[in-house]
């Protein structure tokens, strides 16, 4: 009887001891859905092993023209947190959450960002909000802090982990920003001009004192007119702009034709609204930004 009691109590005592020393089995990761790949990366950085992240719009995919599937509604319903960019970037996300009957928490990562306003294209007189705020690393600091706060609310036990991960990442973002400023400072002011597929780099341009031109507007679903393309070609030739880049989630056909007509060689791929696939040069936010800055500065040197 004593031997049987010993066999029952020893495992129980070991379990209690394990819990008290922090070696108990970890809690299940919190299921989180991010609207697109860049946000998914930021959530993984902040959440670490305490989160299981699903991204609706994946690497090399375009959130501007994304059409949710029924399986996306199921994904959201399994989540405890939905992370969106806001600023009009993915209006389909909130519609999807409502239609799915999602009752979990939601965080708009761009909360607190000073939004840029852009003139509406063509015949519309009112301004349009530029949603690409993550292109300025100082805005991304706000993103990760908002994500950290949201994760702490749904997983209070992970608060110390989320804070430590956020603090470490903020230091990396500050280092990235400092390095970028150093690279761009080497460029003469009259060389700081770039052509890209669509107008995704406004925050980047404003932060680093650059000038970006694009045949498309803020959204990739806006088709430029022949007149607008012709005017841009003339500007490229007049200002002798050699830095022309296409984006990983955009069809390069328009830029390829434009650069050909302007007599300029099309440059390397940039990452604008999506990360690259794993193992490639833009697989994380930090890799994406370093790749973009390296390519952009090299291209602008040719202007």
pLDDT at position 160: 98
| Cα torsion through 124, 202, 209, 42, rounded to 10 | 160
The SS3 assignment for 111 reads: coil
Contact predicate 217/198, CB 8 Å: yes
How far is it, in rounded angstroms, from Cα 55 to Cα 75?
A: 9
- Phi, psi at 210, each rounded to 5°: -115, 170
Residues of the chain short of pLDDT 50, as ranges, are 1-6, 8-24, 122-125, 217-218
Domains of the chain: 30-176 (3.40.50.1980), 187-300 (3.40.50.1980)
Q: Which residue has the tokens 């009887």?
A: 1
For the chain, give the number of residues.
303
How far is it, in rounded angstroms, from Cα 232 to Cα 88?
A: 27
Q: Which residue has the tokens 């603090």?
A: 167
**Residue 117 burial (10 A CB sphere; 0-12, 13-18, 19+):** exposed
Token duo for residue 64: 């501007």
pLDDT at position 221: 52
pLDDT at position 199: 81
The SS3 assignment for 79 reads: coil
How far is it, in rounded angstroms, from Cα 9 to Cα 169?
A: 45
pLDDT at position 222: 58
Query: How many CB atoms within 10 Å of residue 155?
Result: 20
């Amino acid at each position: 009887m004593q031997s049987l009691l010993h066999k029952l109590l020893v495992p129980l005592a070991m379990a209690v001891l394990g819990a008290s020393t922090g070696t108990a089995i970890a809690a299940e990761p919190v299921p989180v859905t991010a609207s697109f790949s860049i946000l998914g990366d930021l959530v993984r950085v902040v959440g670490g092993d305490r989160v299981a992240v699903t991204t609706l719009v994946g690497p090399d995919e375009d959130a501007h023209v994304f059409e949710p599937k029924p399986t996306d509604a199921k994904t959201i319903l399994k989540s405890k947190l939905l992370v969106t960019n806001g600023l009009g970037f993915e209006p389909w996300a909130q519609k999807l959450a409502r239609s799915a009957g999602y009752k979990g928490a939601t965080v708009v990562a761009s909360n607190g960002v000073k939004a840029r306003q852009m003139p509406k294209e063509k015949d519309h007189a009112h301004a349009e909000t530029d949603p690409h705020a993550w292109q300025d690393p100082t805005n991304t600091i706000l993103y990760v802090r908002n994500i950290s706060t949201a994760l702490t609310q749904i997983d209070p036990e992970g608060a110390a982990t989320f804070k430590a991960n956020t603090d470490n990442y903020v230091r990396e973002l500050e280092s990235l920003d400092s390095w970028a400023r150093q690279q761009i400072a080497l460029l003469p002011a009259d060389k700081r001009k770039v052509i890209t597929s669509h107008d995704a780099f406004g925050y980047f341009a404003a932060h680093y004192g650059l000038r970006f031109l694009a045949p498309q507007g803020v959204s990739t679903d806006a088709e430029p007119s022949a007149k607008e393309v012709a005017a841009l070609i003339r500007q490229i030739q007049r200002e002798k702009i050699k830095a022309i880049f296409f984006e990983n989630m955009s069809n390069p056909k328009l830029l390829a034709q434009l650069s050909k007509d302007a007599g300029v060689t099309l440059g390397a791929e940039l990452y604008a609204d999506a990360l690259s696939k794993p193992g490639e040069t833009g697989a994380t936010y930090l890799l994406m930004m370093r790749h973009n800055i390296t390519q952009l500065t090299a291209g602008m040197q040719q202007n």
